[in-house]
Amino acid sequence: MIRKMTVWLFSLLMTAGSLGAQERLANDRIAISVDAKGNLTELKNLVTGTDYAGSGALWRLYFDTSGQSEVQVSGALQANSVERKGDAIVISCSGMKADSRIEGTLNFSLTLTITLEEDKVRFASALANNEPHTIIRELQYPLVGDLALPEGHKLLTTYGGGQLIDNVKRDIAEEGIKNPYMTPAQYFRQKPLEYPRGAVAANCFALVGDKEGLYFGSHDSSFVNTGHGLRVYPSATGVFDRLECGFYKYPNIVSGESWECDANVIAPYSGSWTETSRLYRRWVDATWWDRREPPQWVQEMKSWQRVIFKHQYGEYFFHYNDLPGRILNVEKSVDSDAVLIFGWWNDGMDNSNPDYFTDASQGGDEALKNAITRYQNAGGRAALYFNGKLIDRKSRFYRSGNAQNLTFTGNDGAESIENYKFTSFGSFLGKYNYRNFVIANTREPRWQELMLSWIDKAASLGASSIFYDQMGSVESSAVNWDLSGEFPIPDLAPLTAKADILKKCRDKVIATSQDMAMGAEHITDLLCMYVDYTHGDGLLSMIDWFRYTFPELILSDRSIRDDTDIERRVNLTVLKGLRNDIEIFRCRGLIDETPHYQAYLAKVNALKERFSNLLLKGRFSYKDFFTSSNDKVEARSFVKDGSLAIVLTSEEDKVQKTHLEVPGYKFRECGTIGSAKVSRNGKKVSLGKHGLVVLVYDKEA
């Protein structure tokens, strides 16, 4: 009975409304209304007539005391004051009451300001804590509760650069029950997404239909961690199908402190999902975009080999002399351009970081420099690996005390630990005798000096590039905590710390040589801006979102490590404009050990070389500038200097035919691989399974 009453209470909070006066803002695109109790009663696309509002409360917050955590204050249960002030709706609340567990009035005050811009609604907030011995940890606002989700709308997240989810409510419900012991899953189910942690690449998400959608953007130039609020609550039948979407911010303000935010926007838009990219990119361009043009060789790079010379457990896969030998010869067999050299130091990959000393048994600095020089004189480009965050607890650096006051600490003051459990041929190593690492705080000047010194190291060894591993994203599990006050407080702006050092590294790379490049691993918008290329995982289903939003960024694929499913996966890299990361057997082998992959990539790289101005240096434009009559044929476009390339491929077992219309462009030429035919005028294409076509058009005068 208690559980039923609690579920009923949560349901009531989701539906609480008012029959009283409404405050409304509208232009020719959008209308928003709030009732006298502060509930969202209208969020309408006036072009299409779709109203997404469900009469739910716009906010809730959570606070801690010395003895209780995450005490909830629901906006639906407060005495909200709602009024119109000029062109804004203002909601005020003070003297709050907790939902349960805490009696009496809380000396918290909250002011929410809603304004209407040309294509979006802006939701600002101002929060003050004057309640002794408390800390306000979290404000969830704006919330669109009991959201009226139109049929056919899908969830677009920026996880991994892009993710499209068909059944929104079912996905959230299933995700939220994966670990029910740890969550109050009887009340609601939640999808755990937070920018920039856990591979969430940009601070937005959307509900997208074929011709319209609802965009949620936290256009926050402070780049603080932001929860992408995706919850489902139970309806009267007990089914978790009442959708709530919004943003979660984490003020962490103690008594006597205040906090403000005006970053969160919601936009009911018309058009395809590409409108969400335009909304996000307009903010980016207006506020923080600052990217240098990569060196020419990086722009023209089709693929790279990624190899480990010596592994964590002491096994050699390659030696320095292999670089201008077998590694170079195999690279030429597929017309690859570069090599990312991992495990080149004395103790090997994921071992002894940051003691990056060359292997004395192979001849040290002189031998590695000689090998790199010979390799690059033959046309290759070498990138040297350094890890930007991990410190091995067995390294000389750590044991000598250099890591003191340099690493992340948890909310208990202990160092945060990561484990790397690589195995060799047995089972004991990975289970018991693995490496333990602490996490370097990239805010610390001493660590920044060390990262900058690696550029000198790479340059002295003749490398064309430095590669910073694990520096393109923010740790999903580790947060650095300040324990000096009454409550432990986390650093929730780790992205700006990494951006700061990457900018310094970029500036030093440029000063060292205009031809020297810098790369990093993982995809996050701000961090990608500071490097010349990013090693990501571009085969995720909707990497198109990130490519379309940031078409100038150079990204790789990942995880083609054997000789299976080659045509499909390699074709996708051409379709989506990705560089090939050749990491055979998880960087332990070379592509001549996977002969099918070797033969097919050679054909694809020849096609990329032929059309490099568009496929490598052109702007990825998704499906702009053309139409295709057959949705079973995958097609994408690239534009540059008045020319257009359309890439087409098919995964269907039966032959597929499509008719293309390319208004304003005249067909010039094409290239094909596999089962593919193109008509003389470039309008009709026939594709067998895994056929690949590149069509090139020139803009008509």
Tens of pLDDT, residue by residue over 207-238, are 999 999 999 999 999 999 999 999 999 999 99
Query: β-pairing, 88-96 with 81-85?
Result: antiparallel
Q: Please check whether residue 692 is in contact with residue 571, taking contact to mean a CB–CB distance below 8 angstroms.
A: yes
Residues whose CB falls within 8 Å of the CB of residue 565, separated by 6 or more in sequence, listed in order: none
pLDDT value, residue 537: 84
The CATH number of 2-287, from 2.40.330, 3.30.70, 2.70.98, 2.60.40, is 2.70.98
Examine the pLDDT at 19 and tell me if it is beyond 80.
no
Closest Cα partner for 343 from 329, 330, 362, 356? Answer: 356
Count other Cβ atoms within 10 Å, centred on residue 113.
16
- In angstroms, the CA 402 to CA 404 distance is 6
The CA distance from 281 to 488, in Å, is 36
pLDDT at 409: 94
Measure the CA–CA gap between 522 and 388, rounded to whole angstroms. 12
What are the pLDDT digits (tens) for 56-109? Answer: 999 999 999 999 999 999 999 999 999 999 999 999 999 999 998 778 999 999
Superfamily of domain 296-610: Glycosidases (3.20.20.80)
Provide the token pair at 180.
């029910």
Q: Do domains 2-287 and 619-699 have the same CATH topology?
A: no
* Residue 697, burial from CB neighbour count under 10 angstroms (0-12, 13-18, 19+): buried
What are residue 270's DSSP bridge partners? 212
Chain mean position to CA 424: 32
**Structure confidence at residue 20 (pLDDT):** 56
Do the Cβ atoms of 61 and 139 come closer than 8 Å? yes
Q: What share of the chain is helix, strand, coil (3-state, %, to 5)?
A: 25, 35, 40
Give residue-wise pLDDT tens across range 38-70: 999 999 999 999 999 999 999 999 999 999 999
pLDDT of residue 422: 86
Q: Around Cβ 256, how many Cβ atoms within 10 Å?
A: 10
pLDDT digits (tens, 9 = 90+) for 593-619: 999 999 999 999 999 999 999 999 999
Return d(Cα 118, Cα 632) in angstroms, integer. Answer: 37
Tokens read off for 588 = 């332990």
| Strand duo 381-387 + 338-342: pairing | parallel
Look at strands 303-308 and 338-342 and give their pairing.
parallel
Q: In this predicted structure, what is the pLDDT of residue 21?
A: 82
Q: What is the pLDDT of residues 534-553, one digit of tens each?
A: 999 877 779 999 999 999 99
CA–chain centroid gap for 480, Å, is 21
209 CB-side CA count, 13 A: 17
Average of per-residue pLDDT across 489-494: 96
List the 633-640 sheet strands across, edge first: 619-620, 633-640, 643-650, 692-699, 665-673
DSSP alpha helices (H): ranges in 403-443? 428-431
Domain assignments of the chain as residue spans, ordered by start: 2-287, 296-610, 619-699
What's the predicted TM-score (pTM) here?
0.95
Edge-to-edge order in the sheet of strand 676-678:
627-628, 656-661, 684-687, 676-678
Give tens-digit pLDDT for 392-416.
999 999 999 999 999 999 999 999 9
Provide CATH code, domain 619-699: 2.60.40.1180
Nearest to 656 by CA among 624, 631, 681, 623: 631
> 586: alpha, beta or left, given left = phi > 0 and alpha = psi -120 to 50?
left
CA nearest to 480, candidates 498, 467, 468:
498
Say what the pLDDT of residue 2 is: 37
Give the chain's largest Cα–Cα span.
Answer: 82
Which of 154, 172, 151 minimizes the C-alpha distance to 163? 154
Provide the phi-psi class of 186: left if phi over 0, else alpha when psi is between -120 and 50, else beta.
alpha
Token readout for 544 is: 């198109």
How far is residue 341's CA from residue 385's CA, in Å, rounded to a whole number? Answer: 6
Q: What is the model's pLDDT at position 17?
A: 39
CA dihedral 52, 157, 194, 69 (to 10 degrees): 40
Pick from 32, 83, 78, 73: which is nearest to 55 by CA? 32
